[in-house]
């Protein structure tokens, strides 16, 4: 069956540009998460959606980062005025949303963002 997909797989941009990263969760999963994984580090939580609403955005590093999930399925992570420090792999995960924190999260392959 189809897992979580993310596009693009790689994105190279210049400092100061705007980027959008897309996540297609597993069909029927109501919970969606974004994480950021820097080189040699574990993933760090960015934001959690339950349905269409961002229930916890405490991990977003600053106001240049924003995410939406308008119809409760696909989500887009948006980064304005990119900086070299934003270079990382951005991971999306989804879960059924039926068992709270104990739900298994299924991760996508990530988008590798490089800011030159």
Partner 1 sequence: QKEVEQDPGPLSVPEGAIVSLNCTYSNSAFQYFMWYRQYSRKGPELLMYTYSSGNKEDGRFTAQVDKSSKYISLFIRDSQPSDSATYLCATLPGGTSYGKLTFGQGTILTVHP
User: In the complex, which residues of this chain contact partner 1 (CB under 8 A)?
Assistant: 4, 31, 33, 35, 40-45, 48, 50, 55-56, 59, 91, 93, 95, 100-110, 112
The secondary element (H helix, E strand) that includes residue 6 is strand 5-7
**Residue 85: CB minimum distance to partner 1, A:** 18
Single out the residue of 56, 31, 34 nearest to residue 44, CA to CA: 34
**Residue 43: CB minimum distance to partner 1, A:** 5
**Residue 53: CB minimum distance to partner 1, A:** 12
Distance from C-alpha of 85 to C-alpha of 58, rounded to nearest angstrom: 19
Cβ-based nearer residue to partner 1, 18 or 100? 100
State the chain's maximal CA–CA distance in angstroms: 41
**Residue 81: CB minimum distance to partner 1, A:** 27
Cβ-based nearer residue to partner 1, 70 or 100? 100
Given the DSSP bridges, would you call strands 75-79 and 19-24 parallel, antiparallel or unpaired? antiparallel
Distance from C-alpha of 36 to C-alpha of 107, rounded to nearest angstrom: 12
CA 39-108-27 angle, 5° bins: 160
Cβ-based nearer residue to partner 1, 62 or 104? 104
Cβ-based nearer residue to partner 1, 82 or 111? 111
């Amino acid at each position: 069956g189809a897992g979580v997909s993310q596009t693009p797989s790689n994105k190279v941009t210049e400092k100061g540009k705007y980027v959008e990263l897309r996540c297609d969760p597993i069909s029927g999963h109501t919970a969606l998460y974004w994480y950021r994984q820097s080189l040699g580090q574990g993933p760090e939580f960015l934001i959690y959606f339950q349905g269409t609403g961002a229930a916890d955005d405490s991990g977003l590093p600053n106001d240049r980062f924003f995410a939406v999930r308008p119809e409760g399925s696909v989500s887009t992570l948006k980064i304005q005025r990119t900086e070299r420090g934003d270079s990382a792999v951005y991971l999306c995960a989804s879960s059924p949303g039926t068992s709270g924190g104990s739900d298994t999260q299924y991760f996508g392959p990530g988008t590798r963002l490089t800011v030159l």
